[in-house]
């Protein structure tokens, strides 16, 4: 009975939250903005001491916007050429390299080269002075892509990496992990994960969760 309730809850929360690539806007472009030295220093001070935010020059920001325009027009070859031109520039910051690799990842995704996209997202993660939002976006997309490739163990590892770095985990992270555990038939391990998703969902939408519980009780 407990497994049945958890499975019904899993289906409900998936429907309530959604578990599709790009619903949260992670597979795609990030906002590209140049940062002056003064803005960079001020932004760095406002961040946690353990994490700095990288700077982006105006010349790189303009080239990335140019690349974005042609890639959105499905001119992928031209977009790749522009990205390679940026990589050839001298003294790129960590943030600039991370943005370029994020764009390369998106191009690979558009070409349905999901493993190639994962490789580029991992390159984003190895840079040091990168905004946490960009890192979180890369981690989340890696988890989604492993799930889409049905590499369940790797999807779970990617979600665990996300949870370890998230200040306020979202329910869909637990749903992603719980769904992967379900595919691996690890039902007992899945139960506490789905419970965590339900608890977080209940905090945000208690009335829908109560309706789910009432439906389960009325259909033994």
Looking at the structure of the chain, the number of domains it has is: 1
Q: Which residues contact 182 (CB under 8 A, 6 or more apart)?
A: 7, 10, 190
Q: What is the pLDDT along the chain (220 residues), one digit of tens a residue?
A: 445 545 545 554 454 444 443 433 445 655 554 444 444 344 444 444 445 566 889 999 999 999 999 999 999 999 999 999 999 998 899 999 999 999 999 999 999 999 999 999 999 999 999 999 999 999 999 999 999 999 999 999 999 999 988 887 888 899 999 999 999 999 999 999 988 888 887 776 655 545 545 554 555 5
CA 63 to CA 96: how far, in whole Å?
11
Q: What pLDDT does residue 35 have?
A: 46
For the chain, the straight-line distance linking the first and the last C-alpha, in angstroms and rounded, comes to 9
Q: Residues 76, 68: contact at Cβ < 8 Å?
A: no
Which residue has tokens 């070409």?
Answer: 111
CATH at residue 78: 1.25.40.10
- Closest to 181 measured CA to CA, from 190, 194, 170: 190
Q: What pLDDT does residue 123 have?
A: 97
Q: In terms of residue numbers, what domain contains 213?
A: 2-218
Q: Which tokens hold the place of 111?
A: 């070409």
DSSP state of 157: H
Q: What pLDDT does residue 109 have?
A: 96
């Amino acid at each position: 009975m407990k497994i049945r309730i958890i499975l019904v809850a899993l289906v409900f929360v998936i429907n309530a939250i959604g578990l599709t690539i790009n619903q949260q806007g992670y597979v795609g472009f990030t906002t590209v903005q140049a940062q002056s030295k003064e803005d960079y220093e001020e932004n760095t001070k406002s961040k946690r001491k353990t994490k700095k935010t990288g700077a982006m020059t105006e010349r790189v920001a303009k080239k990335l916007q140019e690349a974005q325009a042609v890639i959105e027009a499905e001119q992928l070859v031209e977009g790749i050429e522009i990205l390679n031109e940026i990589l050839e520039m001298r003294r790129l910051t960590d943030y600039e390299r991370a943005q370029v690799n994020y764009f390369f990842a998106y191009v690979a995704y558009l070409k349905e080269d999901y493993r190639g996209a994962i490789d580029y997202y991992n390159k984003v993660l190895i840079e040091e002075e990168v905004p946490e939002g960009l890192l979180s976006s890369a981690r989340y997309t890696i988890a989604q892509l492993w799930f889409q490739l049905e590499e369940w163990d790797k999807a779970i590892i990617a979600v665990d990496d996300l949870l370890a770095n998230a200040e306020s985990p979202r329910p869909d992270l637990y749903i992603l992990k719980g769904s992967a555990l379900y595919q691996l038939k690890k039902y007992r391990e899945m139960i506490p994960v789905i419970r965590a998703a339900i608890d977080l969902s209940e905090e945000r939408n208690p009335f829908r969760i109560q309706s789910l519980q009432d439906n389960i009780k009325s259909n033994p």
